Chains A and B, each alone.
Chain A
Amino acid sequence: MPQISQLLEVYGSQFFWLLIVIGIIYFGIARNMVPKISKTVDDRQKRITDDLAAAQAAQDKAEQIETDYRTSINDARADALGNINEAKAKAAKKNEAAVKRADTAFAKKADEADAALKAAKTAALKEIETVAAEAAQAIVSTVSGAKVSAADAKKAVKAAF
Chain B
Amino acid sequence: MHQFEVQPIFDGFTLFGQQISFTNSALWMFLVLGLLYVFMMGGMKRELVPGRWQIMVEGIVGFVDNIIATSIGPNGKKYTPWVFTLFMFILFSNLLGMMPFGIIPGIHPFTVTSQFTVTGLLAAISFSIVLVVGFWKHGFKFFSLFIPHGTPVVMIPLIFMVELLSFLVRPFSLALRLFVAMIAGHILIKVFANFVIQAIDAGGASWGIAVLSIIFIAFVSALELLVCAIQAYVFALLTSLYINDAENLH
Contact = CB atoms under 8 A, between A and B. Distances in A.
Tell me whether A and B are bound partners.
Answer: yes
Contacts of B207: none
B201 interface: no
Given A13-B12, A37-B58, A31 B20 contact: no
Contact of A13 (B18, B37, B65, B122): B18
B6 A10 contact: yes
B62 A41 contact: yes
Sorting the interface of chain B by its residue count into under 10, 10 to 19, 20 to 34 or 35 or more gives 35 or more
A106 interface: no
A16 B20 contact: yes
A36 interface: yes
B58 A21 contact: no
Given A3-B4, A34-B61, A44-B48, A10 B25 contact: yes
B23 A10 contact: yes
Sorting the interface of chain A by its residue count into under 10, 10 to 19, 20 to 34 or 35 or more gives 35 or more
A7 B19 contact: no
A12 B61 contact: no
A113 interface: no
Contact of B33 (A16, A21, A40): A21
Given A13-B21, A17-B23, A26 B57 contact: no
B116 interface: yes
Given A12-B18, A12-B20, A16-B15, A29 B88 contact: yes
7 contacts: A10-B25, A10-B117, A12-B20, A21-B89, A22-B122, A26-B85, A40-B58
Given A6-B6, A10-B23, 6 more contacts: A3-B183, A7-B117, A12-B15, A16-B20, A37-B46, A44-B48
